[in-house]
Structure 1
Amino acid sequence: MNCFKILPVWLVMPIAGTFAQTIDTTRSETPTLTVSGYVEAYYAHDFTAPKATQERPGFLYNHKRNREVNINLAFIKAAYSNDRVRANLALQAGTYAQYNYAAEQDLVKHIFEANAGVKLSRNHDLWLDAGIFSSHIGFESAISKDCWTLTRSLLAENSPYYLAGAKLTHNTPNGKWTLLGSVLNGWQRIAKLPGYSGPSISTQIQFKPSAKLTLNWSTFIGSDRPDSLKQGRFFNNLYAIINPSSKVGVILGFDIGSDRKPIVDGQRIGSGSYVWYAPVIIARFATAEKSYLAGRIEYYNDKNGVIIGTGSPNGFQTFGYSLNYDYFILPNALFRVEGKVYSSKDAIFETDNGLRKTNTSLTTSLAISF
């Protein structure tokens, strides 16, 4: 889910510091052990929320705490690789882990990534990986510095950030195609949902005809409900990343998912499915060698409350608008500030004087990678 860079070359090079250690020189490729880290501190001020409220709205999981300086995500990662095997272990802390992993067992809440992989072919780039890994669904991740906007889009906040299971990944020799198939424990779940027996399946097809264009289609087939409800889920994530020049880029994203209507007291409550969808467009412009602007317009329609429940007559039907400014203080130190407005069809946002249809916030962050 990492974002595609549009900055000058020196800015888009990996900025996490690494070191290598020779383990066994008899192999065809020298094994490496790489250690890297990331810390993102932030301050979010929600102008709409009641003064006593210390949390942003319930459908947000990043930069969640309100009117206080906090850590969104901090992790330390060790990665081992040689020509046929690879493994990653990253331990995390911060409010992202606090809220996004709330349903997981305490033992795994601090695992950002833990997986092992083996290359199945000497002649082809074909890997089998198993464990806990970052989701391939979507163009955004929890690592803010890798994304075009400081905060995440509505569609990213409400689709998987991480997955647990096993995946098979193949990259073609020309580097233009990536094909992925996976068997998962569920919709962003390390432990299976109680009452759900079957595995879930996810796929990805990504095509990069050139450095100026990336096309992606990812799917999820399974459920996030107990077997007794018989609510199968089919979800699609599509996006295009367009970079016509080194200074300008555009992301076009679209999510659409459906949950079959449930069975209650032995009877299905109706034919068809509950559908939700979310389009987004993000434009980014490099204003100087070390700075850039990004704007976002998005919409999320979940009138049946499948993903975001509101209890309001029209469910969650919300537009979002944001503008952010980013400045690289150093190649591995990024300062960001973003203003954002949500506008909903129903009055769903809490204030000191009841509910209102709009929400306004300002977020700043400082991210350091090493």
Structure 2
Amino acid sequence: MKFAFLLLPLLPLLPLLPLLAQAQAPPLPPQADTLKAVASPLSFFGYAEAYYSYDFANPANKQRPDFLYSHNRHNEFNLNLGLLGVRYQDERVRGALALQAGTYVEANYAAEPPTLQHVSEAWAGLRLAPRLWLDAGIFTSHIGLESARSLDNPTLTRSIMADNSPYYETGAKLTFEASPTWTFTGLVLNGWQNIQDNNQNKALGSQIQFKPAQKLALNYSTFFGEGKNEAGPSLRWRHFHDVYLTWQATPALNIAAAADAGWEQQSPGSDAYHAWQAGQLVARFQTTPKTAAVFRAEYFHDPKGVVVRTASPNNLRTFGLSAGFDYAPTERAMLRLEAKQYQARDFIFPTGDELWLSSTALTALLGVSF
């Protein structure tokens, strides 16, 4: 029972087990002579976001700090993320397969085998009961307010807390849609954002989503397990908690807030832990039907370098501010502009052969979803 705490993420799901009885949907009413069109369960999708970013540190290798995985190339036009995929969904079966490319993929999937780096999603799902799904494979992370796709997020660029928590996961998950208000998910994973597992250790996760109203959503996600995917029998346990909310305060104002807290053993078998914390607050103002202004404040503190290692002996403690402008001429396309600055307590941001206390960048993005 030494690691019994790994079962904690699944405790919220235990009271729901009696609800998993099978049920049969009522038959459809007989049709008249006229034929009724039925939507195909198979659909195709694509996504592309091209960007230009200028970092005022003017890094000689054109690479922005290593802990920034999205929009990370300096003074060049490039593709952050391109996707092509297919989805399938009927009453009992669902799944998706999507391939990807871009500088985000190059940076964030560098530790994966080359044959797997370009797989964004590859999963299959089966409905076990009317409101219970089992999905397995490679899927998007259950952690965090932000995803890899800029057009799905309130801001153009990702926060440091998003770039240094999982974007993708590999494993199996049970999702129980208890009601339109509550959704519960339990997961068994290879680890902390990895496809290939380099050891015998697995991780557990949980997610609870609460939507008391159409304009308000709350999310609580956890991770318990080994986080570094290192080969060998020794391991350091990591436990992590993520909380976020989104609130449509007025027809023109959307507010999002998120907070992370994580702990990892200092050494295998140790009772001492290193900790890190992060948070952000985002306000998005819809200035016209096609334009919006976006503002974000964020904080990240990882004093022992658990998830972020910087170019200096000091590790990351920084505060960031960003301001952006969005123009969406259609529902499927958006032009985004953003200015962002990070201010650190120590000299950690590289520029040539020096280190700076701050990092300032301007980024422009054109994204299309189809």
Q: Shift in Å at residue 228 of structure 1?
A: 4.4
2:157 equivalent among 151, 155, 177: 151
Q: Shift in Å at residue 31 of structure 1?
A: 5.0
Separation in 2 of the partners of 1:341 and 1:32?
Answer: 45
Q: Shift in Å at residue 272 of structure 1?
A: 1.7
Separation in 1 of the partners of 2:110 and 2:351?
Answer: 25
The answer (yes or no) to whether the contact 1:313–1:346 under 8 Å persists in 2 is no
Separation in 2 of the partners of 1:325 and 1:291?
Answer: 7
Q: Shift in Å at residue 48 of structure 1?
A: 1.2
Q: Deviations over 1:83-120 (max 9, x none)?
A: 00011011111111111110001111111111000000
Q: Shift in Å at residue 172 of structure 1?
A: 2.1
Query: Match for 1:35: what amino acid?
Result: F
Secondary structure of 1:278 counterpart: strand
Alignment-derived partner of residue 204 in structure 1: 207
Alignment-derived partner of residue 218 in structure 2: 215
Identify unmatched segments of 5+ residues in structure 2.
1-37
Separation in 2 of the partners of 1:198 and 1:78?
Answer: 31
Secondary structure of 2:165 counterpart: coil
Q: Does 1:258 align with 2:263?
A: yes
The answer (yes or no) to whether the contact 1:318–1:344 under 8 Å persists in 2 is yes
Q: Shift in Å at residue 57 of structure 1?
A: 0.6
The answer (yes or no) to whether the contact 1:31–1:83 under 8 Å persists in 2 is no
Separation in 2 of the partners of 1:331 and 1:311?
Answer: 41
Alignment root-mean-square deviation, CA: 1.5
Identify unmatched segments of 5+ residues in structure 1.
1-28
Number of equivalenced pairs: 331
Separation in 2 of the partners of 1:334 and 1:311?
Answer: 34
Separation in 1 of the partners of 2:368 and 2:312?
Answer: 41
After TM superposition, the structure 1 stretch with the greater mean CA deviation from structure 2, 52-61 or 223-232, is 223-232
Alignment-derived partner of residue 14 in structure 2: none
Report which structure shows greater RCO (CA 8 Å, sep ≥6): 1
2:124 equivalent among 116, 126, 129: 116
TM-score by length of 2: 0.86
Alignment-derived partner of residue 239 in structure 1: 244
Q: Does 1:70 align with 2:73?
A: no
- Report runs of 4+ in structure 1 exceeding 6 Å deviation: none
Alignment-derived partner of residue 283 in structure 2: 283
Alignment-derived partner of residue 5 in structure 2: none
Q: Does 1:95 align with 2:98?
A: no
**Equivalent residue runs for 1:1-370 within 5 Å:** 31-50=40-59, 52-121=60-129, 124-173=130-179, 175-192=180-197, 194=198, 196-225=199-228, 226=230, 228-263=233-268, 271-310=271-310, 312=312, 314-352=314-352, 354-370=354-370
Secondary structure of 2:249 counterpart: coil
Q: Shift in Å at residue 311 of structure 1?
A: 6.2
Secondary structure of 1:145 counterpart: helix
Separation in 2 of the partners of 1:30 and 1:82?
Answer: 10
The answer (yes or no) to whether the contact 1:229–1:262 under 8 Å persists in 2 is no
TM-score by length of 1: 0.86
Q: Shift in Å at residue 353 of structure 1?
A: 5.8
The answer (yes or no) to whether the contact 2:141–2:168 under 8 Å persists in 1 is yes
Separation in 2 of the partners of 1:212 and 1:333?
Answer: 24
The answer (yes or no) to whether the contact 1:49–1:350 under 8 Å persists in 2 is no
The answer (yes or no) to whether the contact 2:276–2:306 under 8 Å persists in 1 is yes
| Percent of residue pairs bearing the same amino acid type | 44
